[in-house]
Amino acid sequence: MEKFNNISDDEFPSSFTNNTESKKLPPNRIRRHTVTVRLNDIELAKVNYLRNQASKSCWLRSSALQQLPPSVPEVNKNAWQDLTHSLQKLNDLGSFLLRRGEEAKPLSHEVNALKLKLSHVRDALLTLEK
């Protein structure tokens, strides 16, 4: 089986666009094929609920290719967002320490260890319920 690339919609334009950049893509990256799906009212409601802000076609494509973003239980959303912000700040700190050079290496290692632990906690929030 072929290995699929994880490419966002912005990087993978449709063949129906007028964007000249998409014409420069290799032929295997241009979307040319249309798939039609028929859903009943219950199925459509479920798709609409699960897709959030994504278009139906984008969500169905991502779902079929098993590239959906993680779904965070509602009870954990605030903690997920707080940890995401904290991890971003640690990334910024790590970048700053890398620019500082050798004198900041010990602190840089500590920041990386902390980022790893916070990432594990954040990933655990995907499965934890009340």
Going from N- to C-terminal start, the domains of the chain cover 9-64, 74-124
Q: Is the pTM of this model over 0.95?
A: no
- 122 by Cβ neighbours in 10 Å (0-12 / 13-18 / 19+) ranks as buried
More confident residue, 23 or 77: 77
Mean pLDDT score of the chain: 79
Tell me the per-residue pLDDT of 46-63, one tens digit each, with 9 for 90 and over: 989 888 888 888 888 888
Q: Which of 7-16, 48-57, 62-71, 98-107 has the lowest mean pLDDT?
A: 7-16
